[in-house]
Amino acid sequence: MLQAFVTPRARADVSSITRWIRVTRQSPDGATTWSLAFREAVRRVQVNPEIHSVVSEHELQDLGIQQISFKTRQGKRYRVIFIIENNVVQVLRVRGPGQPPLSKDEVT
């Protein structure tokens, strides 16, 4: 199993998403469930990093950036954006439904 490192930007994404679920959706349990689903997605990458797809953003595809999607109980899809470097899964960003595509300056 590979090590995982969540970058500061990705940590801010996670914090923002869980805060939104907890406060805006008024669902502390939902925020906890989302956090567990995020951690499970990262664990799946650590166990089997080669099987995950390249990001859909064309300008990022040549950088070796990959993604894994996970869904909430309500069916909302989230993406964990990552690279594998020196046997470490580096989580670069986390994107929620409806967010615009990433640009290079948002991941480098």
Among 79, 22, 17, smallest CA distance to 54 is for 79
- Is residue 19's pLDDT more than 90? yes
What does the pLDDT look like over 73-101, one tens digit per residue?
Answer: 888 999 999 999 999 999 999 999 999 99
Query: Percent of the chain scored above 90 by pLDDT?
Result: 85
Sheet with strand 3-6: strands edge to edge: 3-6, 88-95, 77-85, 66-71, 53-54
Instruction: Say what the pLDDT of residue 99 is.
Output: 92
Domain-wise residue ranges, the chain: 3-106
Please report, for residues 4, 7, 21, 39, 61, the alpha-carbon distance to residue 72 in angstroms, rounded to integers and kept in the order given. Answer: 22, 23, 11, 13, 26
Higher pLDDT, 46 or 72: 46
Instruction: Say what the pLDDT of residue 25 is.
Output: 87
Cβ contact 94:19 at 8 Å: no
CATH of 3-106, picked from 1.10.10.10, 3.30.2310.20, 3.40.50.2300, 3.10.110.10, is 3.30.2310.20
